[in-house]
Amino acid sequence: MSVEAKVKEIMAEQLGINEEDISSDSSLAEDLGADSLDVVEIVMALEEEFEMEISDSDAEKLDTVKDFSNFISQRSC
């Protein structure tokens, strides 16, 4: 499974929506309706899944599925 597919799966699970409703360019807040608590939970789930740490300052810069996928891909090897 690709990083992006896993990110979509985690976001869908955390937000209680269908993966099909999430695109690469979906914005967490604007398109998916995530509030700040949802974002924190998504970041924690991604950290656990990919065994990495995403700092608060980095998390604030990430908004779309593509943003999260690129960030994770660049830092995991």
Catalytic center residues = 35
Contact in structure between 77 and 38 (CB atoms under 8 Å)? no
Of the candidates 49, 52, 41, 50, the one whose C-alpha atom is nearest the C-alpha of residue 16 is 41
Rounded-to-integer distance, Cα 65 and Cα 61, Å: 12
